[in-house]
């Protein structure tokens, strides 16, 4: 599976239209309910819908991850990246560890 990654540059979150469309509805749906457990947060976020058809999908990732793991230069070199022509440092595609077929 190919994964396309598009980052906003640092400091531009305030212009992220998707973020703005999403969080105002989560806040409205929240209505001040105490966020006492992870499950309360997941249920609250997951039940958010808009009249325009926006749905929020949310689940708790209970995985355990190693903190502070360093990625070696060799591991980074083995990642098959295809950088986009527009800001390739922020926008790129990641291909599986098989030989990528670029069009």
pLDDT digits (tens, 9 = 90+) for 3-47: 888 877 666 666 666 666 777 888 888 888 899 999 999 999 888
Alpha-carbon distance 4 to 93, whole Å? 4
Q: Domain ranges in the chain?
A: 3-59+79-95
Beta strand 3-6 with 91-95 is antiparallel
The whole-model pTM stands at 0.51
pLDDT confidence of 49, banded at 50, 70, 90? confident
pLDDT of the residue at 37: 93
């Amino acid at each position: 599976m190919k994964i396309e990654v598009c980052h906003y540059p640092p400091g531009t979150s305030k212009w992220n239209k998707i973020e703005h469309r999403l969080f105002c509805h989560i806040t409205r749906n929240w209505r001040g309910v105490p966020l006492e457990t992870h499950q309360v947060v997941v249920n609250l976020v997951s039940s958010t819908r808009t009249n325009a058809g926006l749905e929020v999908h949310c689940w708790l990732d209970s995985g355990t991850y190693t903190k502070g793991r360093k990625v070696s230069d060799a591991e980074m070199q083995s990642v098959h990246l295809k950088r986009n022509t527009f800001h390739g440092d922020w926008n790129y595609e990641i291909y599986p560890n098989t030989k990528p077929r670029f069009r």
